[in-house]
Amino acid sequence: MVKVDELSISVVSTGKQLVKNIGFELKPGSVTGLVGESGSGKSLTALSLMQLLPKSLNVGGEITFNQTSGSTQDINTLSEKELKDFRGNIAGMIFQDPMSSLNPSQKVGRQVMEAFVLHNSANHKEAKTRVIDMFHRVLLPNPKRIFDAYPFQLSGGQRQRVMIAMALINNPALLIADEATTALDVTVQHEIIELLKKLQAEFNLTVLFITHDLALLSNFADYVMVMKEGEIVEQGNYKNISSSPKHSYTQGLMACRPTYEHRDFVLPIIENIGTETGAKLEKRQWPVVKEQSLVDAKNVDVLYEQKHQNAFRAVSDVSFNLKKGETLGVVGESGCGKTSLSKALLQLIPYSGQFFLEGEPIDFSTRKKALSFRRKVQFVFQDPYSSLNPVMKIGAMLKEILLIHGRGNDRSSRLKLVNELLQQVDLPESFALRYPHELSGGQRQRVAIAKALAPGPDVLILDEAVAALDVSVQAKILNLLNALKLKFGLSYIFISHDLEVVHYMSDRIIVMKDGIIEEAGSANQIFEHASSAYTKKLIKASPSANITG
């Protein structure tokens, strides 16, 4: 259906090649996975198929589309009018973040209807009927209500279903999904994959599915291509590549993801795969967990007042404890209350109930007491870029925290502590002079961890701290966190929607749903002998759980 020959994409101003003379074919009715990490060139490749690349990039090579009439056409040579017909009638695209793809000030039904009317001569009634029918097909609940809803009134999964409906509204032959499930909970991710499988069979679609997670393509893709630094390093039948990958990079992508078997070992580093070092699994050291309770929560409730509506109870009568030297995993989907619980512990939102630190009630009645708590309990956010001051250098940020908490007697001693903090998170001292925008996502997260370590805390609360990272970067950050825990005797509250990652990191796990603790137990007990139907659903939805080889 689509054939790509010698596709190259380069920066006009510098000549730097971002995609390097790649070639592949998308066969009619097939599902092809395009796998790679950030910066590999996979999204640029997808955008080139849709002719959506900016003019600052130069495109070479041929992208030919086989029409139903039997003739072929080079997509690179299409006029604006022909491209308008191609985008929608022939090819549809789903992007990673539906919130930024949908107009926040317009009802979603009207937006999908607009995409239909653009390519068809239909009146308002016909167009609305078509959209509601498509909402039914993508399994949206109550399509008529959704038609009149704004994007902010829908969940992440519902917004992505709206984007799928928009991409398919004109019955295209080709569907390109660019990281279409990355920002979703594992159960919603699983549902979207199942939906795409159903729609692919129903419409006989040719699908190009782009992801950084090879395991996600299990039981879905027929064919897979693995990209690294602008090149396709391996391609072939998905089952063959997933069961016996030939290239060391593909092997690394599979080995870096935490699975049940990984729990007792340090996660492999992708750069070492294929070398003598990478072949040896290093046994993981576990710190001794003391019976002494460090943090206690007693009957905590979090209530959000809403105008003209009943108050929403985000956390309901939750009690737990964190032991010294322990990692307590908190797992659940978006909206389950896990982040509200952590914010309540940090005294960032109102709550009822009680929190204790080392047996004493948490007290913010004076600045001195509040500062003492902040020194002992620190937080690492999901998105390091938004938690770092974009106009401050890394060193200045760290020095500011040291100054607030009275660490370092003078400028010289604080500079020494800054260098030590950077070394502790495996960053060179020269990074003290860099700004956040000059760092990669993984490097920014290391800086966020260094900031949390700066006061010398006993507890770190990690809220989805690796969720936005590539699998290889995620592995390095998880290894770093485990090493820091051993070195400094830290205790972690590790919050995530990914049960496999939580299982790898945690001694004990609590599973949250609708503001309550659904199930609690040791990590192995939860994973091997889950009693709750909801926990079993989370385990089943994990990408690695669906690999059949």
* Domain end call among 209, 233, 255: 255
Tens-place pLDDT, residues 40-55: 999 999 999 999 999 9
Whether the per-residue pLDDT at 495 is higher than 50: the answer is yes
Whether the per-residue pLDDT at 333 is higher than 50: the answer is yes
CB-CB neighbours of 409 under 10 Å: 8
Whether the per-residue pLDDT at 549 is higher than 50: the answer is no
Residues 142, 23 share a domain = yes
Average pLDDT of 433-455? 93
Residues in contact with 125: Cβ distance below 8 Å, sequence separation at least 6, in sequence order: none
Residues 374, 313 share a domain = yes
pLDDT band at 498 (very low <50, low <70, confident <90, very high): confident
Instruction: Indicate the number of domains in the chain.
Output: 2
The Cα–Cα gap between 311 and 304 comes to 6
User: 180 lies in a domain?
Assistant: yes
Residues 216, 150 share a domain = yes
Whether the per-residue pLDDT at 401 is higher than 90: the answer is yes
CB-CB neighbours of 122 under 10 Å: 14
Residues 214, 97 share a domain = yes
SS3 99: helix
Average pLDDT of 180-205? 87
Residues 321, 174 share a domain = no
The Cα–Cα gap between 75 and 50 comes to 8
Whether the per-residue pLDDT at 461 is higher than 60: the answer is yes
Tens-place pLDDT, residues 248-273: 999 988 888 888 888 999 998 888 88
The Cα–Cα gap between 462 and 339 comes to 10
pLDDT at res. 360: 95
Helices 156-168 and 186-203 pack at an angle, to 10 degrees, of 20
pLDDT at res. 486: 94
Residues 316, 221 share a domain = no
Give the residue numbers spanning the domain of 196: 2-255
User: 272 lies in a domain?
Assistant: no
pLDDT at res. 548: 45
Residues 379, 479 share a domain = yes
* Domain end call among 232, 255, 278: 255
Whether the per-residue pLDDT at 276 is higher than 80: the answer is no
Query: Could you say which DSSP state residue 506 is in?
Result: -
Length of the chain: 549
**Burial grade of 208 (CB within 10 A; 0-12, 13-18, 19 or more):** buried
User: 225 lies in a domain?
Assistant: yes
CA 258 to chain centre: 15
Contact 221, 209 (CB under 8 A): yes
The Cα–Cα gap between 10 and 58 comes to 5
The Cα–Cα gap between 26 and 65 comes to 10
User: 144 lies in a domain?
Assistant: yes
The Cα–Cα gap between 91 and 65 comes to 10
Residues 75, 169 share a domain = yes
pLDDT at res. 183: 67
CA 403 to chain centre: 34
pLDDT at res. 187: 84
Average pLDDT of 162-172? 93
User: 427 lies in a domain?
Assistant: no
User: 275 lies in a domain?
Assistant: no
pLDDT at res. 310: 79
pLDDT at res. 189: 85
pLDDT band at 274 (very low <50, low <70, confident <90, very high): low
Phi first, then psi, for residue 390 (nearest 5°) are -65, -20
The CATH number of whichever domain residue 39 belongs to comes to: 3.40.50.300
SS3 271: helix
Whole-prediction pTM value?
A: 0.84
Rg (CA), the chain: 25
Whether the per-residue pLDDT at 468 is higher than 80: the answer is no
The Cα–Cα gap between 214 and 44 comes to 19
| CA proximity to 235, closest of 26, 450, 541 | 26
Residues in contact with 388: Cβ distance below 8 Å, sequence separation at least 6, in sequence order: 394, 397, 436, 444, 447, 448, 451
With DSSP H G I counted as helix, E B as strand and the rest as coil, what are the percentages for the chain, rounded to 5? 40, 25, 35
Residues 159, 71 share a domain = yes
Residues 339, 446 share a domain = yes
User: 470 lies in a domain?
Assistant: yes
Q: Which residue has the higher pLDDT, 449 or 74?
A: 449
Contact 465, 484 (CB under 8 A): no
Helices 156-168 and 124-137 pack at an angle, to 10 degrees, of 120
Q: Which residue has the higher pLDDT, 154 or 306?
A: 154
* Domain end call among 200, 229, 255: 255
How wide is the angle at C-alpha 401 spanned by C-alphas 396 and 406, nearest 5°? 120
